[in-house]
């Protein structure tokens, strides 16, 4: 739209120049008429209206003014007023276009946020149905009591399949009720189990770290060590030493 408006301004200026040159040809110096003929094509090829107007105004210095002729003054004044008006309108429409574009972007963003909020409300209302909460409360309690989390193959998808619920439902329930994601939930259950085993069973204090990792359901020694320290704040070897000293 900005380019179209610029072209309109250029055409308007050309019309004004031609009309003015014809109307005042008897009053103008020949050098000005030469300017009209020689630079006409250049104006058509250049979108920089301001620079061409400055050239136009400078060429008017060659005009031989006739103080008795008011027609030339009025025509020139009229042309300058038209050009000024067009420049102001150009800036106005440019600002208007920018504001319209910005408003549309804001409106699109607002609509996206509204859609997300509506979607979240719909999901929560479905996830938090009393029947679903009651079922998951009982199922998760049985899951923890049976120590199925010690299975190395345990995952969100496998547990949701075992419980017969959608994995998104189960993930949402864990996040909301356990205040952690599923991976951290399982890892903390495993570390909690091995910590209690070390405290209550002296045989566990004799096991190698790799065996403790295997007993708690971790697939590697390193993952077990990382999660153990994350939960307890100390390394497995340090914790075992503390327990031994406590029971010595």
Reported as a pLDDT band with limits 50, 70 and 90, residue 247 is confident
- Residue 159: CB atoms within 10 A of its CB come to 21
- Between CA 9 and CA 49 the distance in angstroms is 8
**Residues with Cβ < 8 Å from 113, sequence gap 6 or more?**
none
Top CATH class, 131-247:
mainly alpha
Cβ-in-10-Å burial (0-12, 13-18, 19+) of 98 comes to exposed
Of 3-12, 44-53, 75-84, 233-242, highest mean pLDDT: 233-242
Token output for 1: 């739209």
**Whether the model pTM is above 0.85:** no
Range list for CATH 1.10.10.60 in the chain: 131-247
Q: Is the pLDDT of residue 173 over 60?
A: yes
Report the pLDDT averaged over residues 141-160.
94
**Residues with Cβ < 8 Å from 63, sequence gap 6 or more?**
27, 28, 29, 32, 72
Predicted pLDDT at 111: 62
Reported as a pLDDT band with limits 50, 70 and 90, residue 108 is low
Helix ranges, 24-149 (H): 30-45, 49-59, 70-127, 130-145
Q: Is the pLDDT of residue 101 over 80?
A: no
Which tens digits make up the pLDDT trace of 4-32? 555 555 656 655 555 555 444 444 444 44
Q: Is the pLDDT of residue 44 over 50?
A: no
**Residues with Cβ < 8 Å from 125, sequence gap 6 or more?**
none
Give the mean pLDDT of the chain.
Answer: 72
Which of these ranges, 50-64, 124-138, 167-181, 187-201, has the smallest mean pLDDT?
A: 50-64
Query: pLDDT: is 90 or 224 the higher one?
Result: 224
Which of these ranges, 28-32, 131-135, 161-165, 211-215, has the smallest mean pLDDT?
A: 28-32
């Amino acid at each position: 739209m900005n380019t179209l408006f610029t072209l309109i301004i250029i055409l308007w200026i050309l019309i004004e120049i031609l009309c003015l040159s014809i109307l005042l040809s008897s009053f103008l110096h020949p050098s000005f008429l030469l300017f009209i003929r020689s630079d006409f094509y250049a104006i058509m090829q250049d979108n920089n209206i301001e620079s061409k107007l400055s050239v136009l105004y400078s060429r008017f210095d060659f005009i031989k003014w006739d103080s008795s002729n008011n027609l030339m003054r009025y025509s020139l004044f009229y042309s300058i007023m038209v050009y000024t008006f067009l420049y102001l309108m150009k800036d106005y429409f440019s600002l208007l276009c920018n504001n319209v574009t910005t408003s549309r972007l804001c409106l699109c963003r607002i609509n996206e946020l509204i859609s997300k909020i509506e979607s979240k409300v719909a999901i929560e209302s479905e996830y938090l149905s009393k029947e679903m909460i009651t079922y998951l409360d009982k199922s998760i309690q049985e899951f923890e009591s049976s120590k199925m989390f010690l299975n190395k193959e345990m995952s969100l998808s496998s547990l949701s399949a075992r419980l017969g619920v959608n994995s998104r439902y189960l993930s949402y329930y864990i996040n909301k009720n356990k205040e952690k994601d599923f991976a951290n939930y399982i890892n903390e259950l495993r570390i909690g189990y091995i910590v209690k085993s070390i405290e209550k069973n002296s045989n566990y204090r004799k096991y190698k770290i790799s065996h403790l990792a295997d007993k708690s359901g971790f697939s590697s020694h390193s993952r077990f060590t990382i999660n153990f320290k994350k939960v307890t704040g100390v390394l497995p070897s340090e914790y075992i030493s503390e327990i031994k000293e406590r029971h010595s």
